[in-house]
């Protein structure tokens, strides 16, 4: 039985860990800042660990599902980190939204210890995690990716190997740019239509027939209803990810005009003190505005 360590059991990591247990993997999980996820996973058969090193000790594969590169670097190189405990021949699968440059540095560090790392950027959100239908953008050596597939297949159903280490996380950042920019555009489209007097529900139906998109389907009804709970992706999370996209654009000397505009929109909403709200709540920037003069 393959032993797997799961580092990061938040909104995405907990259902991913549950699916690994259902597929028969022996699982060790790092305790979360909240006790409930760890206790639910223990009830399903997971072993709880007090540190990343303890979780990874004796495991053949470690899966990381953390918010940013900062947290990844901490659990890898910090006190009681994975780098101290993982044995030569182990494999690390980083499913976090990480900076590609950081991912490459950590891959080099692990390589010195005889440990493989692949980056596995993922999409389809919490629902995909619960259903075991995540899509993964993979970066790393082909042999390491092949080793990771039994674990990944317990978590998702779509896998694209884009190239060497770092390419999976690059694709994830690009995917986020597309998603967040499209949500901002959906917001403007609905604002334009409703403030011009068109019934919002009928407008949504028409757009879903003539110009459908996943962003419109998922976030349009929330924007029109003014009901943004529960939060799927917080505005502050969007701002963090878009900052990574700006850094990627800087390194690639890529002009990203629309990204910059969308980033300012989300940042404006965050500065109002609404950073923890769902990103669809940017609709409040126009919903609360005075009606147009006719």
Task: Establish whether 293 is a catalytic residue.
Answer: no
Question: Which residue among 23, 172, 202, 293 is the active-site one?
Answer: 172
- What order do you get walking across the sheet with 116-123 strand by strand? 47-49, 26-30, 3-7, 61-64, 91-94, 116-123, 134-139, 156-163
State both tokens at 175: 């995917």
Catalytic residues: 172
């Amino acid at each position: 039985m393959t032993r797997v360590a799961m580092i990061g059991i938040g909104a995405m990591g907990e259902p991913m860990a549950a699916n690994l247990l259902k597929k028969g993997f022996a699982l060790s999980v790092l305790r979360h800042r909240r006790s409930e996820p760890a206790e639910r996973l223990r009830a399903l058969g997971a072993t709880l660990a007090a540190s990343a090193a303890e979780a990874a000790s004796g495991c053949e594969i470690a899966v990381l599902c953390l918010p940013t590169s900062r947290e990844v670097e901490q659990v890898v190189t910090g006190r009681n980190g994975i780098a101290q405990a993982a044995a030569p021949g182990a494999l690390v699968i980083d499913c976090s939204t990480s900076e590609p440059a950081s991912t490459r540095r950590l891959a080099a560090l692990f390589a010195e210890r005889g440990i493989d790392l692949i980056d596995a950027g993922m999409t389809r959100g919490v629902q995909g995690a619960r259903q075991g239908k995540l899509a993964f953008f993979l970066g790393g050596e082909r042999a390491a990716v092949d080793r990771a597939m039994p674990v990944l297949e317990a978590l998702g159903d779509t896998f694209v190997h884009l190239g060497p280490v770092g390419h999976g996380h690059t694709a994830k950042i690009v995917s986020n740019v597309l998603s967040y920019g499209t949500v901002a555009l959906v917001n403007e489209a609905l604002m334009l239509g409703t403030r011009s007097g068109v019934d919002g529900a009928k407008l949504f139906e028409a757009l879903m027939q003539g110009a459908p998109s996943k962003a419109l389907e998922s976030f349009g009804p929330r924007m029109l209803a003014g009901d943004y709970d529960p939060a799927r992706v917080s505005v502050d999370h969007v701002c963090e990810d878009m900052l990574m996209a700006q850094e990627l654009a800087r390194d690639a000397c890529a002009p990203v005009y629309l990204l910059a505009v969308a980033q300012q929109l989300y940042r404006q909403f965050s500065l109002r003190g609404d950073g923890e709200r769902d990103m669809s709540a940017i609709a409040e920037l126009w919903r609360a505005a005075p009606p147009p003069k006719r």
